[in-house]
Structure 1
Amino acid sequence: MTTRLLRLVSAPLCALALALSSGCAPSGGAEPACVQAVPRDDNDRVTIGLHSDLPGWSYAPDDASWSGFDYEFARWLGHYCGFTVTPTRIASAQRETALISGQLDLVIATYSITDERKDVVSFAGPYARTQQGVMVRDGSRIAGLEDLAGHTVCAARGTTSADQLVRFLPDAILDERDGFGQCTRALIEGDVDAVSTDQLILYGFAAARSPLQEEAEGSLTVLDDVFGHQELYGIGIPYGEVRLCEALTEAIDAAIVSQWWTDAFENALPEVTSPEEFRPADYERCTDGGQA
């Protein structure tokens, strides 16, 4: 477990950070607030919870092979705020518990900001936005949301995806699994008829270079239809850490207005033709009581 210390550290050296120049503090200017605000251990390491089964977002077939937008964003944050990322695998249903217990310092795991979650953890951000979509196999008779009635649709436990599926498409049959990687394999094997979660996550699974798309022999397809409320991805932090929230939100702002955000997004999700649709424009305020 990471020792929680607020330590003064030197400002990150932008010249040493790959593709990060547009997100660094101006030379000779004030260092980013997150340099002092982000807790770290004696070796400047910060333990960050990441999914490991979401191609395009955070995917790790082994501990040395992380990739995806969330993982690259965690690395960017480390360069910008002057710490080393210790990536730690986390399941969706475990995110709040891991933050509350102190097992993790931060969570960057397609973590949607919701009022219910803000009762127990806080959020900085958002750094991306999306809505819920549906993925099927080529040749499926499911061509739109109206076709899901009576069909089995998989969603991950502990996610807003399962909740929205029940609320907005009550005639579909919900099948919950421990992660969307398991859901996608169930779709490939014919155990479920569709997978439903954030459209951005589905784009990652259906990308041409996704391991699961290769496993499906190129047959995974994301429908154009979306439903439900807008999902805003934020950085999960311990409840009530207002100073940390403000510092990280300032860092997120530096990232999303820079060329880095666009380049990283396009590299992680090359099939998405309009990245700007998913760039957030508004921020929630960091306030007392854990609200971010």
Structure 2
Amino acid sequence: MSEARSGVDTPGPAQRRGRLGAARLILILGAVLLVGTACVRFPAPPSDPPTATAVPPTPPGARTDVPREPTPNSETCDATVSLRPPAQMPVPGQMPVRSTMADILGRGRLIVGLDTGSNLFSFRDPITGDIQGFDVDIARAIAQAIFGEPTVEYKVLSSGDRIRALHDGTVDVVVKTMSITCDRVRDVAFSTPYYVASQRILVMRNSQVTTARGLAGKRVCAARGVTSIGRMQSIEPRAKMVTTTTWADCLVMMQQGEVDAATTDDAILAGLAEQDPWVQVVGPSLGEEYYGVGMAQGHDDLVRFVNGVLDQLRISGGWQQIYNRWLSILGTNYPPIPVYRE
């Protein structure tokens, strides 16, 4: 006699064991996930926040131990008076026998001391690599008068090396924004002035400094060996002078916040301002500077010859052309009137 079956199947022993195993597996997996999740939630061990420090590189040769220097032209002298040029200039390529110019002609080039960091006066063109500027054109005019063409060799000098280079014969002339002063005429034979500049101040545009008095306690940069240092120390003794090898270094230190200002002649400062729109020239003139071509003492014939070249530039309009080419940013200007002695 057969048993009647209900409509619901009853699991057998094998099925029950399978379901039990599956349940255990689910419990184990759940535990693993729980443990894994719990591990992720543990906080990371404490660590110091990331740090980064950068010290602005100070230009080589920068100094803060600047001694007191004399005020330019603090004594009375006729520093800008120079030797009268010859009544008739020699023909280019035919210099007087046994003259300093004949020696230069025989060598085949005029050796000129200048620098490549005074924008507008003497600097290296970033595209062509040529040295050019107002001082360069004055030097080329001197060479043109000797050779008939501007045959020049340039020696790059710092401001502090100019006089030494003349003494040891490294260069024939220095055309490097070199101010004629009573102190320097003891060591250097100067031409008549070929440019007159005014000392002023260069600051960042957000600076509150507008006069020399505002530099009390401030760091003020200048290239070593220039007359601007002594004048600033005289006008504002509380200014903290910093000296560098070049004017370009002063601009870099201003950009890095290592100095508060720079001071020198307005023409040089205008050249720095052209390189950075965030700086500006401020304040009234602190004093005038007369630039002259520097030569070694004892070479009076060369001094007279150079004065003759400068005279020709004034009369012919050549000086005005050079000025308009490089310094028109400073406004209208004219060549200085020379004063001669015999």
TM-score, normalising length from structure 2?
0.67
State the superposition RMSD in angstroms: 2.2
Structure 1 residue matching 2:341: 3-state secondary structure? coil
CA distance in 2: counterparts of 1:101 and 1:224, whole angstroms: 39
Is residue 2:136 matched to residue 1:71? Answer: yes
Return structure 1 stretches of 4+ with deviation > 3 angstroms: 29-37, 61-64
Counterpart contact for 1:106–1:237, Cα < 8 Å: yes
| Structure-1 residue corresponding to 2:337 | 281
CA distance in 2: counterparts of 1:169 and 1:47, whole angstroms: 38
Structure number with larger C-alpha Rg: 2
| Structure-2 residue corresponding to 1:116 | 183
CA distance in 1: counterparts of 2:292 and 2:309, whole angstroms: 12
Matches within 5 A, 1:111-260: 111-207=178-274, 213=275, 216=276, 218-228=277-287, 230-260=288-318
Q: CA deviation at 1:137?
A: 1.2
CA distance in 1: counterparts of 2:273 and 2:320, whole angstroms: 20
| Structure-2 residue corresponding to 1:42 | 106
Structure 2 residue matching 1:88: 3-state secondary structure? strand
Percent identical pairs in the alignment equals 28
State the Cα deviation string for residues 208-250 of structure 1 (Å, max 9, x = none).
xxxxx2xx3x11211141113x211111111122222112112
Is residue 2:160 matched to residue 1:93? Answer: yes
| Structure-2 residue corresponding to 1:25 | none
Counterpart contact for 2:202–2:279, Cα < 8 Å: yes
State the Cα deviation string for residues 103-157 of structure 1 (Å, max 9, x = none).
1111100011112111122111210011211111111111222211121110111
> Which amino acid is the alignment partner of residue 117 of structure 2?
D
CA distance in 2: counterparts of 1:146 and 1:35, whole angstroms: 52
Counterpart contact for 1:32–1:251, Cα < 8 Å: no
CA distance in 2: counterparts of 1:160 and 1:184, whole angstroms: 18
Equivalences, count: 247
TM-score, normalising length from structure 1?
0.78
Q: CA deviation at 1:191?
A: 0.9
CA distance in 2: counterparts of 1:204 and 1:125, whole angstroms: 24
Counterpart contact for 2:89–2:305, Cα < 8 Å: no
Q: CA deviation at 1:41?
A: 5.3
Which ranges in structure 1 are unaligned for 5 or more consecutive residues?
Answer: 1-28, 208-212, 287-292
> Which amino acid is the alignment partner of residue 338 of structure 2?
D
Which segment is superposed worse, 55-64 or 122-131?
A: 55-64
Structure 1 residue matching 2:112: 3-state secondary structure? strand
Which ranges in structure 2 are unaligned for 5 or more consecutive residues?
Answer: 1-87
State the Cα deviation string for residues 27-85 of structure 1 (Å, max 9, x = none).
xx863699445241535211000111011000026794211100111112221232611
